[in-house]
A and B are shown apart, each in its own frame.
Chain A
Amino acid sequence: MSDLLQIKNLTVEFQTDDGPVEAVRNVSFNIPKGKTVGLVGESGSGKSVSSLAVMQLIPNPPGRVKNGEIIFDGENLLDHSDAKMRKVRGNRISMIFQEPMTSLNPVFTVGDQIIESLMLHKKMNKKQALDRAIELLDQVGIPDPKTRVHAYPHEMSGGQRQRVMIAMAISCEPELLIADEPTTALDVTIQKQILELIADLQKKYGMSVLFITHDLGVIADIADDVVVMYRGDIVEKGTTEQIFKQPKHPYTKGLIACRPMLEQNPARLPTVSDFMTVDGKEIDYKATPVEKTVRPITSDQPVLLEIKNINKHFPLHKSFFGKVTEWLRAVDGVSLKVHKGRTLGLVGESGCGKTTLGRTILRLIEPTNGDIFYNGTNITELNKEEMREMRKKMQIIFQDPYASLNPRMTIGMAIMEPMIIHKIGKNKQEQMDRAASLMEKVGLKPEMLNRYPHEFSGGQRQRICIARALAVEPDFIICDESVSALDVSVQAQILNLLLDLQEEMGLTYVFISHDLAVVKFFSDEVAVMNKGKVVEMSDAVSIYKSPKDPYTKKLLEAIPRGIPKTMLPSS
């Protein structure tokens, strides 16, 4: 089959304060007609830059294509004049972006935005274009398209906005569709629908698709060929089956191995650093995976935390006189028990109330009503001073390692602050020594204590946050999406660290995440939340093997399997 797009030796350079930096180096790959190529890599690997180069949408300055060719249907796009390139963009090649929130113009209706390309490239008049826009909206699964065509982007949900973006992109029936992380900002059930939609449309129009993502699971589901990028270089390319069955490059091997999978029960996750040194040399990794031993929860297992019928309601609508007429029931009558030394996984999609619940347990948000018993004490009745004492026992690690450290404070100060507040350690020197030993405990060098957060990577920062939480010697830690913002390879390292700490210090965790595979790997028990309520709770293995609640089933079905279709036993 012939290739629709050939990228040859593409190098893209960005001007920075510290001189030029090559974001993409000598990248070459092809996209065959009618096929889907998955471009996969972690943040900063250059995958988005490569796709923007195809569209010639790299902001210039500071970026520019240094050399290379992009051959589309026999012509080098880089030789095109701006006017000629405009005839390609949106017409023969179109693109969908990651953020459906900001990628649509907020002041125009979705119809206005779809007809723009139709009127420009297909020379339709407004009436024809609008009729076609309604057809397109119907095709991408927007209900009641005749009315919705006049809706503004903010009147739609995230998933619908991404459908509109797709409608816009396919409006001129392009030969190539570039999808840049189109489902990353979406919930897993919505992601499934969008992926199916793209696959359907591809079949219908015979398009080629360049699908960019950091998520190997998604790639396995959707791509025919895979290109793996690492720090601006292509490290491996091949058919999806080749890549997943016999990855050659150690980075690819590590990347595939470090993802928690629903089908497996490893005790620990391998990491990329098990396969490859920092400078890219292969390590011969032969460790045989150890099965996780399921720790049974017996009735005599002591309960550390028990929450009874917790509610948190936020006012949603107010009447003219300020009386609340409608409440958002973020947490709606939740009761849970967390056993000492065990992990309770809390899983659900965005807006299900899991984060609110986590913060309510620590009284960072005051519950509307309900009781929280910690070691027998009802902490909702504690006064400010008693609650401050309680904070020594209960800690939290947040999602975004970039936002959860004060950028103007050295990390030494960040780790010592809890000790200062709770007067732990006799003097500054002792606190400093404790901070240094905590750094070692989380796998960082104590010499780094005097540095500032921006000098660390995301994974390192999350380690610092863990050290800060441990500074007060807590028994109980809430991990609120603590690994969601990290690249998969880093995610595995942090999960392993948290497991080691639990074993060593006997910690009890509540692990909050949207990712069922991670929760299943990490937890002893799992509670599934939907619309403020816990819909199902069970031990980690049986919730996966025999889900009872329909919502849990839907959630499980939506998770990308991470195994190429051709390798699935059923096909």
Chain B
Amino acid sequence: MLKYAIRRILYMFPILLGITLVTFLLFNVAGGDPAVQMAGKYATEAEIEAIRKDLGTSGPLYVQFGNYIKQIVTFDFGRSWATKQEVTRMIFGEEFRTSPMLVSVSLTFPAFFITLVLAISIGLLLTFYRGGVLDKSIMVVCLGAISISSLVYILFLQYYLGYKLGLFPISGISYDWVDKWNYLALPIIIFVALSLGSNVLFFRTIFLDEVFQDYVRTARAKGLSNKVVMFRHVLRNALIPIITLVVIQIPFLITGTLLIESFFSLPGLGGLIYNAINNADFPVIKAMTFISAVLYMFFQLLSDILYAVVDPKVQLK
């Protein structure tokens, strides 16, 4: 087990190198010379060079790459082009209470949890009554639900529940531990609404895969009731893909949801990325790309290790 984990951790280094290379290629090589754009039409060569120095884009490529590695190692991604603030500070915030990450996580974690509980229960229900009217009609509803753009969900629900009915505030956040839920309630509802359909379909497929396994027939041959077969045998096996799925989602939850946060002007990481994209703010995008990739890599590792823990079939050699 330990050997497997160590090997798996060592495997992260080539991937880390790959991420560094790809982001570097994209922003420093293919991206052209941002200094020329930033300096404006009438800048002198000296002014442009000064900006280049500031951005870490002066000198030959290998020097630039060296600078980039330095940025990564020191975790200092320079200053935002748009706000001139330090990028690291923008991402992690001044203090924990107001940090963008906490805003994103307060929105996504509860929302994802609610989605999971609902989707798994509905998925089990549909598998239980598979082929029946209930199964078929909910399937159609889910297929319809995933056919609507997520933009429309946000736009419509924000307009109708927030603006028209005035049930919820439609923008901003409070940093008060209680009051903030007032602001987050509608975003959470929207998150659940737009991710429920695809999740139900996903879990239904997973459960159906298990229902037709031979061991289910054996369990029924023992005289166990459908309920016991479903909850004890099927669910326990389906838990293996479910756990890995959940763990793999966590990095996306941490980096927040771009669309919802931008619509509700929430100062989370998603909103940060949205603004950076809008302002072509390369340092922020670069830093966020790198950080998300590392997060993803880390949780991928965790999910692999968990997989080995939950699934007795996986023999680690």
The chain A residues found within 8 Å of chain B, CB to CB, are 55, 57, 61, 83, 86-91, 94-95, 97, 99, 102-108, 116-117, 120-121, 152, 154, 165, 168, 317-318, 320
Contact = CB atoms under 8 A, between A and B. Distances in A.
A55 B221 CA distance: 7
Nearest to A320: B3
Nearest to A178: B221
Contacts of A152: 312-313
19 contacts: A61-B131, A90-B223, A90-B224, A91-B223, A97-B218, A102-B215, A103-B214, A105-B218, A106-B311, A106-B313, A107-B313, A108-B236, A116-B219, A120-B222, A152-B312, A152-B313, A154-B315, A168-B222, A320-B3
B220 to A, nearest CB: 6
A14 to B, nearest CB: 15
A318 B223 contact: no
Contacts of A88: 223
Contacts of B225: 83, 86
Contacts of A87: 223
A513 B215 CA distance: 30
Nearest to A56: B220
Interface in B220-263: 220-225, 233, 236-237, 240
Contact of A57 (B7, B213, B220, B233): B220
B224 A116 contact: yes
A278 B50 CA distance: 92
A105 B233 contact: yes
A106 B237 contact: yes
Contacts of B131: 61
Contacts of A91: 223
Contacts of A107: 236-237, 240, 311-313
Given A106-B237, A107-B237, A107-B240, A90 B221 contact: yes
B317 interface: yes
Contact of B215 (A83, A104, A120): A104
B315 A89 contact: no
Contact of B312 (A97, A106, A168): A106
A94 B214 contact: no
B214 A57 contact: no
Size band of the B side of the interface? Answer: 20 to 34
Contacts of A165: 218
Nearest to B214: A102
A102 B215 CA distance: 6
B97 interface: no
Interface in B297-317: 311-313, 315, 317
A130 B288 CA distance: 55
Contacts of A97: 214, 217-218
A57 B223 contact: no
B223 A117 contact: yes
A154 B312 contact: yes
A91 B223 CA distance: 7
A87 B224 CA distance: 9
A318 to B, nearest CB: 7
A317 B221 CA distance: 39
A104 B218 contact: yes
Contacts of B315: 154
A155 to B, nearest CB: 8
A162 to B, nearest CB: 12
Contacts of A117: 222-223
Given A95-B221, A103-B218, A108-B236, 6 more contacts: A61-B131, A87-B223, A103-B215, A106-B312, A117-B223, A152-B313
